[in-house]
Structure 1
C-alpha cells in the first residue's frame, strides 16, 4: 500500500517566514531571504514568478558569497524542475552545503535526489543517496535522520520487495518516536506513518495478528489527533488484512468505509489498493464478475498514474484467466500485454515471465487460431473486423516484443562482454607512457592530402601529447581551439584527423572520451554511482543526452546498461 512522504514545498513551509507586501522586480534582491522564500512558496502555481524569486535569492546569495544561501537558492530551482534537471540543481545544493554543518543541508538535497532517482526506477542509486543523507542528518538533525531511515524502508518494502529488511528499519523508527510527544503536531504524522508501515509490513508477511495490533494502534492515534485521512487509511489497511484472514464480510465493510475518503483526498495509490482488495473480497465470495469489475478499475487507475507496486500485480493474471475461460481472446491479450509491460517496468526477469506466459496463456495457440476467429466472426459488423485486426496486431506485437527483447538483451550482453574482454584501450596505454617516450608512427600508405610530411608528423605528435594529457576531457574542445594551441591551421588539423584517425574531429574527441570513460568505470566503483548527467560533466560532455549518444555510437550499448552490468 502507498506510504505518505514529505514534499519539498512542505519542507520549506517549516522554515521561519515573514509576511511582506508587493515589491517591484528590480527591488527583489533587497528583500530578506525569508521574504523571498515566502514569495516563492506563495506563487507555487506561477512558474514564471517562482523563477524570478529563485533568481533573486540566488543572485543575492552569490553577491554575498554565502555558501549555505547559495545552496538554498539552488534548492529552489530543484523544486521547480523534475528528473535530470532537478538532480543537476540538487548536485549544486550538495556542493555548496556539504561543509556548512547546516541543520537541513545537504541531507535534504541527498534525500530529494534519492526521490528523483526512485521515480526513474534507479533504486540502487536512490538508496546510495538516502544513505548519504542519513550520514549528514545523523550529525546535524536526528529527527530528520529517522525520516530518511523511514524513506529507505519504504523503498525497500514497496519497490524491492525486501519486507523483512524494511520491517527492521520501521522498528527502529517506532522505538525512536515512542520516546517523543507523539500526539503533538511535530511528531504525530511521522509516528502514524511508522505505525502504518509496521502494520503493512506484517500484513505483507502474512502475520495478520501483528498487523491488526498496529492497525488498531494507528486507528486510535489518528482518532485522537483528528487526522481523518490517516484514520481511513488504517481502516483500509485492516480491511486488506481481513482479506488475508478470509473474513470477507468484515473486509468488505472496512474497505467500503475507507474508499470514499481515499477518493475525497485524491489518494490515487490507496484508491487503487481499495479496488484491488475489493476484487480479492469478491473473488473470496465467489462473485467473479464483480471481482473482475474491481480489477478493471484498478487497471484504469494504473493507466492514469502509471504507478503500481508489486503487491497489486496479481490482479492481472486473474483478469487474463477470467477472459481465457470466457474465450474472450481480445481482452485476454489486452491484460496480458499490460501485465508484461508492468513486469518489465518493475524490472523483474522479463525473459522467464515471457516463457511462463506463453506456456500458461497459449500465446502461440491464439496466434494459430487467428483464421478460425476470422471465420467465426465474418458475419458480424465492421466493428468486429476492427476487433479482429486489433487482436492480430496485439498478438503480433506481443510476439515481436518478446523476440525483440530477447534479441536486444542478447546483443547488449555480447557487446558488453566484448568491451570487457578487450585489452586496455590506447589512451590508457598513453597514461603510463612518459611524454618523451611517445613515438609518432606515420602511415606511408595514407593518401596525399596536400600537407608537407614534416608538418603532418608535427601535428600527429601534438595530437599524441593532447591524448596523453587527456586534454580532450576539457569541456567545449573545438578544432579552432586546438589549432590555436598547435599554432597551425584548423583545416590542416581537420584533414589529418580525417585521414590518420579515420573519423571527423567531433567523432575523434568523443571516442577518446568514451574510451577513457570505459576504463575509469571499470576501475572506479564510485563513478558508477554518478548520474548520467554527472558523468557527462565529468568527462567533458555538455549534456547527458550527448554523452549517452556518443557512448552508444562507440559501444553499441547505453551507458546505463554498461554501468548496471558492471555491478
Structure 2
C-alpha cells in the first residue's frame, strides 16, 4: 500500500514538473549529443563567469531530463536553472518551487534538503533574509546526520546571513567550520574543488567583515592560487573584488583600483548589478581619498545608477550619498542636492527599519535553539546547582518571551495591512471610485448652490468650480510641489476662496483633498497596469507627485489602511 502511494505521488509530481516548461527553448545541435556529466562539467566551468552560458547548459540538462524521464537530471536542471537566474537578478523561484514540490516527499542523500537550500539562496538574493533563514533551518534539519556536505554548507549560508545583519563576529566561526571541513576533504577522493575554493572565499570575506584585512588578504591569495592550481575560476572575480576592498582599507590605493577595474569587467558581463554597484562605490572611495573629487563623484553616481537597475540597496554604499550631497552643495546645484538627500533618507529608512529586526529574527530562530541545546547540556553536568539553573532558565524564558511578543506584535500589524489590502482590492473592483474623495463626475451643478458656500459670489464660485474640475480631469494633481497658494494662482483666484471651496464642498482640507486624488489615481493605475507594479515604491511616488517614498507610503496608509507594498504584492499574487 505504501509503495502504491509513492507510485501515485511520483506520477502526480511528474505532471507538475512536466507542466513547468522552458518557453521557447530548444537544445542546440552542438549539445544534443552531450551526456549529463559533460553538460554538468560545462555548467560548472562557466557558472558565475558567464551566467548566460550557464543558463543554456542548465536548460539543456532540464530538457534532456524531461525527454528521458530521468528524475536525477530533472532535479539538477531545476536547481541549476533557479540558481543561475537568481545570480542574473531574474526570478528563479518558479523553478525552485517546482523542485520543492517534486522532491518534498522523497528521501535521498541530497533531496529534499537541496530544494530548501536553493529557495533560501534565492530569498537571500532578494534581500528577504527572514524567508531565507526559514528555508536554511528546514534544510539543516533534513541534512543533519545524513549529508555532512549539505550540513556544513548551510553553516556557511547562515554565516552569510549574519554578515548581512552586521553580526560579523558570530559569522566568522561558521565560515571557519565550513573551510576546515572542505580543506580536510580536498585531499580525498570525495573532494569538491568548487566548494573548497568557495569556502576560502567565505573565510576571506569573513575576515574582511571583521576588519582583519591582512588575514583576509592571506586567504584571498590562497584562493587565487587554488583557482589557478585547479583551473576553476568560478570565484576568481570575487577574489579580485575582495582584494580590491582589502587593499582599499589597507590604503594600497593603486592595487585596490586595479583590482576593482579588473573585477568590473566580469560583473558587467554577468549583469551582476549588486557587485558592480559595490565596485563603483569603492572606485569612488579610492578617488575621493586621493583627492580626485570629480572622478569620485562620477563613480558614486554610477553606483547609484546600478542600484536603481538592481532595485536593491547595499548599506555599505550609504556614505557615497553624503559625498554627492556635499559636492552638489559646493557647486550650488540644489536639485541634485535634494535628489541625493532623498536617497540618503531612503537608505537610512531601509537600514533602520530592517537591520535591527532581521538581527533579532536570526537570534530568535537560529541562535536560541543552539543556546537552549547548550543549556540542556549544562543542566546534565551541573544538576546539583539547581538554584543557578533555575535563574538561567528564568532569564532565558524571559528573553524568549520578549522576542516572541515583539514577533507577534509585528505579525499582527502585517496581518492588518494584508487584510486592508484585500478590502481595498475588493472595493476597487466593485466601483471605479475607490476612496472617499469626490470625483468631478459626481459633483452636480446644484451642489454649488448650497447655502454653505453663499459667501463666495456665484460667478466666482462657478469659475473656480469649472477650473477645479479641469484640474481633476487633466490629472494636474500628479504634478510635484503643489500648494494651495500655487494652485489658487493657477486657477485665477485667491487662497481663501479655494480653501473655503475645498473645505465646505469636499469636507476636508486641501492637503487631504490632494492626497486622496493622488492615491485614488494610483490604486486604479496599479489595478490596470502590470508594468507599474514592477516599479520601486520610490519610483511610483515620483510618478504621482510625491517627493519621496516615505510621504507617499504615509499618505497611502492613512487613506487605505494599508501600505502600497502590500497592495502591490496582493496584485502580483493574483496575477
TM-score by length of 2: 0.49
Q: TM-score if structure 1 supplies the norm length?
A: 0.49
Q: Which has the higher contact order (CA 8 A, sep 6+)?
A: 2
